[in-house]
Structure 1
Amino acid sequence: MNKIVKKAWNYRYVVLVVLWLVYIINYFDRMAVLTFLPFIQEDLNLTPVEVGQLASVFFFAYAAAQISAGYLADKIGPKKVMYIAILVFTVITALTGAVKNFTQFLLLRIGLGFGEGHHFAPAIRAINNWFPQNEKGRATSFFATSWAVAPAIVPVIVTSISFYFFGGDWRPVFYVLAIPGAVAIFLLWFFVSNTPKEMIAKGRISKEQDIDGQDDSPIEKMSKEEKRKTYGLFLKDFHFYVYTLLLFCQLAVYWGTTTWLTSFLVTQHGMNIKEMGFFGSAPYIIAFFAMLLGGWLMDKVLGRMKPVALIGGIGSIPVLWMLGAIDSGKPALLLTLLLLVGFFVNLNFGSIYAFLPKRYPKEIVGSATGLSNGIGQLGAFVSPLVAGYLVTVGADGSQDFGNVFIFFASVAALSVVCAIILKEKPVSDSVIPTVNQEKVI
């Protein structure tokens, strides 16, 4: 390894790419379920309300896991927490192929949410440990593209595997998805450490340049009073809760549209499995570039997340509204609106997760991220559930999603209000022990 990468400041990009690849594998599991959802619904004879419940219960477990994930990432290190997360969601995904009824599926969705929910906050903490302050926006934006790349490629890959290898059967695909989980564990073990300091101690990289934000957290060395003051930096910060509500709206729109997109394409627009795979991937192809653009605008042009959030939120409102109202038989217009939704909904995704590392000291970023993402993920829980009740089912069994996308547009409007209120100035870190101000590399 020393022959490949000599400097810590170069190796951080290797760590970032590996974390990105591993998180794409995380998304393979959840996106496979959403891709096959209309066919699973048919096989298990589920109603739209039951489909909404199954989608939402995943995010309830996912949200609950965020809080413990952030705390554990700060206490025992992000790498160990990610190991546990990957093992759990890999096993649960393989079991999904054998599901027989609503109750079994419900329990597996809870298990999957719990496993995958322990992956995000540790990954953000690891990035925060490896990257300096002036690169956190771009680093988190690149990481965020994992949830643009995965939805772009997963529908095509899993539907192709199902169509060409298993005659259109969705069940064997979930057994196959256990293989990427094993690959993720190996990548994490071989390439990633919690901090540059650990990697240097192992002799894998050389000590040649300082990296701001890489040391282990001194939280455990603090007195109870110091801990209380430190966590109070975000717990008593009004704008932490404004940010959390903004994140709630962001995730509600993203996961609401992602959850119901394949059903929308199959039932309202009459697409088969191959057509659905192509159109279902379209928003996330453009989302990849939108996320990178958002991070670049934050770091290099605007210097803040707030303007990016305003552009994304304001642009999302009309395109979401029009997407739900489009008649079937207009593929060109449908594709155009899907691409616009992918751009505006995802523009702020990378930059939004750079807000906390820029506002708060690194020692509490894991806990702040876990709490905000735990509450914010409730948006992903509420949105698919509400949408399930808004689907209009005709007497002939046809389904109309017009009201569903009006709901998503309304949530995007609320995110704009939050962005207008939000303040981004970094809070004081004077209560952090002096190790926070020291360079240890």
Structure 2
Amino acid sequence: MTQAHPQPVRSRTGTTRIRWTIIWLAFAGLSINYLDRASLSVALPFMGEDFHLTATQQGLVFAAFFWAYDACQLVAGWYVDKVGPRRSFFLAAVWWSIFTALTGLARGFWSLLTLRFLLGIGESPAPSTAAKVVATWFPTRERAFATSIWDSGSRVGAVIALPVVTGLIAWLHWRAVFVVIGAVGVVWALVWWKYYRDPRQHPGASAAEIEYVEGGGARTAETDAEEAARIPWRSLFRYRTVLSMMFGFFCLNSVIYFFITFFPSYLVTERGFSLLKLGFFGAIPGLFAVLSGWAGGLLADRAIRRGASVTRVRKTVIVGGLVGGSVIMFAAVVPEAWMALTLLSISYGSLTVAGTGIWSLPADVAPSSRHVGSLGGVQNFASNFAGIITPIVVGALVDATGSFVVPLLVIGVIALVGAFNYLVIMGRIEPLKLIGSAPAATSGS
């Protein structure tokens, strides 16, 4: 039986624009992905009657997700390249939705920790899949904005978690939160499976769109150089560019994961936010981050279209974003809550701009289309050590000092270290060459 597909969106010239429908669908998937991930951080302050967790135990529960998520990154990136975005995103979404729903059945610290661990396994292929989608469907001149769209799903998921989760808690119970958003994830997975195909296999894509995408630098099997495609996966770790990508992304995530984990608790315990204020004002930094990311992606693509080098554009976006993100260190010491919220918004927005550049790198430097998902998994593997370390360190420092001043100072400094890494240590941003060939030195090997 032939599957029906949505009618393609057409521009004035009649050329299809399937790629934009696909990237917005990926955005929805990442939004649900992060809604599932962030729901516990929003619900946890209001689960005290059932669990009575210390700040250190909360940090361990948050970290359990990242133990699994990070351990699976290298395999997940390879798997995305092996089976393609259609299958990898579908299976991942079904998995993470099931274990999100089961979180509503948790009965204590250990069951909560186990379910978060299993959730981390299911969510691990999502970012590498999205990076692969951009590399497959978008020319270089549109890559940053397309990346900003799917990457903003992480911010949107965290933002909507605040009103959605607090609303469901007030209306029903915290256990109902996880069942509802788990069901939403299953629905999205079915839509993705029905609609997504690679460019030459998509029944709605016109020949003009395929030519535009592939001619503009999209990374597909049809455009791969034979020599580059032979570079073994394990050899990626021999390139300075790849090592710099890994370390720099770790620094970015050291700050990002404060917003994903302890941010709601900070507003409640340190700034005295009520449930209503948390649901309303707590969404401001995330909303600002979404708009900042889109603006940063548009400006980066415009600069490349006007002739700026990919290296200059990516480094400007990433370094500037990390420097801006470091202002989080001042949020803990300002006297008024609105001042802290302003600084946190600037920090989150700047980090999101940096993230659009960082997640463009796998497509920029991959030696072939067969390496895009793998490079996404490699840099995400390193970055999510921050997801393991940051919640534990922040929780322990809060327990030891009684405030968030020291933790925010530490992660602000780490953001500056990351900026230095991308500015000084990372070389030119271009496709990696086979080590031993003449141009290899320009690839940062």
Query: Do the two structures share a fold, i.e. TM-score over 0.5?
Result: yes
1:427 to 428, 431, 437: 431
Q: 1:129 to 1:411 in 2, by over 3 A?
A: same
339-348 or 98-107: bigger deviation? 339-348
Q: Distance in 1 between matches of 2:6 and 2:410?
A: 53
- CA offsets, 1:189-228, max 9 Å, x none? 22211x11111xxx33332341213634899x98xx9766
Q: Given residue 171 of structure 1, which amino acid in structure 2 is its aligned partner? A: R
Query: What percentage of residue pairs aligned between the two structures are identical?
Result: 26
Tell me the residue number matched to 2:252: 250
Tell me the residue number matched to 1:170: 174
Q: Distance in 1 between matches of 2:415 and 2:76?
A: 27
The two structures have a TM-score, normalised by structure 2, of 0.87
Q: 1:217 to 1:252 in 2, by over 3 A?
A: farther
Q: Please list, as runs of the form range in 1=range in 2, the aligned pairs for 1:181-330 lying within 5 A after superposition.
A: 181-193=185-197, 195-199=198-202, 203-209=203-209, 210=211, 211-212=213-214, 213=218, 215-216=220-221, 229-231=231-233, 234-301=236-303, 303=310, 304-317=313-326, 319-327=327-335, 330=336
Q: Could you say what secondary structure the match of 2:283 adopts?
A: helix
Gaps of 5+ in 2: 436-445
1:415 to 390, 407, 418: 418
Q: Is the 8 A contact 2:80 2:129 kept in 1?
A: yes
Q: Given residue 333 of structure 2, which amino acid in structure 1 is its aligned partner? A: A
1:92 to 85, 90, 99: 99
- CA offsets, 1:387-424, max 9 Å, x none? 11110468xxxx41111111111211211221222223
Tell me the residue number matched to 2:441: none
Q: 1:8 to 1:381 in 2, by over 3 A?
A: farther
How far is the alpha carbon of 1:186 from its aligned partner? 2.1
Q: Given residue 272 of structure 2, which amino acid in structure 1 is its aligned partner? A: G
Q: Is the 8 A contact 1:94 1:178 kept in 2?
A: yes
How far is the alpha carbon of 1:24 from its aligned partner? 0.8
Q: Distance in 1 between matches of 2:7 and 2:133?
A: 24
Tell me the residue number matched to 1:159: 166
Q: 1:110 to 1:306 in 2, by over 3 A?
A: same
Q: Distance in 2 between matches of 1:228 and 1:320?
A: 43
Q: 1:8 to 1:249 in 2, by over 3 A?
A: farther
How far is the alpha carbon of 1:235 from its aligned partner? 2.6
Q: Is the 8 A contact 2:221 2:369 kept in 1?
A: no
Q: Distance in 2 between matches of 1:130 and 1:380?
A: 30
How far is the alpha carbon of 1:41 from its aligned partner? 4.7
Q: Distance in 2 between matches of 1:316 and 1:25?
A: 25
Tell me the residue number matched to 2:407: 404
Q: Is the 8 A contact 1:53 1:385 kept in 2?
A: yes
Tell me the residue number matched to 1:434: none
Q: Distance in 2 between matches of 1:65 and 1:254?
A: 20
Q: Is the 8 A contact 1:196 1:214 kept in 2?
A: no
Q: Is the 8 A contact 1:85 1:115 kept in 2?
A: yes
Q: Distance in 2 between matches of 1:126 and 1:26?
A: 16
Tell me the residue number matched to 2:363: 357
Tell me the residue number matched to 1:439: none
Q: Could you say what secondary structure the match of 1:36 adopts?
A: helix
Q: 1:2 to 1:292 in 2, by over 3 A?
A: closer
Question: Alpha carbon RMSD of aligned pairs, Å?
Answer: 2.4
Q: Given residue 362 of structure 1, which amino acid in structure 2 is its aligned partner? A: S
Q: Could you say what secondary structure the match of 1:208 adopts?
A: helix
The two structures have a TM-score, normalised by structure 1, of 0.87
1:117 to 94, 113, 124: 124
How far is the alpha carbon of 1:276 from its aligned partner? 1.4
339-348 or 113-122: bigger deviation? 339-348
Q: Distance in 1 between matches of 2:423 and 2:208?
A: 42
Q: Is the 8 A contact 1:73 1:366 kept in 2?
A: yes
Tell me the residue number matched to 1:128: 135
Q: 1:215 to 1:359 in 2, by over 3 A?
A: closer
How far is the alpha carbon of 1:9 from its aligned partner? 5.0
- CA offsets, 1:137-184, max 9 Å, x none? 221112111112222222112211221x21xx3111111112211221
Tell me the residue number matched to 2:70: 63
Q: Distance in 2 between matches of 1:258 and 1:388?
A: 13
Q: Could you say what secondary structure the match of 2:393 adopts?
A: helix
Q: 1:196 to 1:385 in 2, by over 3 A?
A: same
How far is the alpha carbon of 1:229 from its aligned partner? 3.0
- Corresponding pairs, count: 414
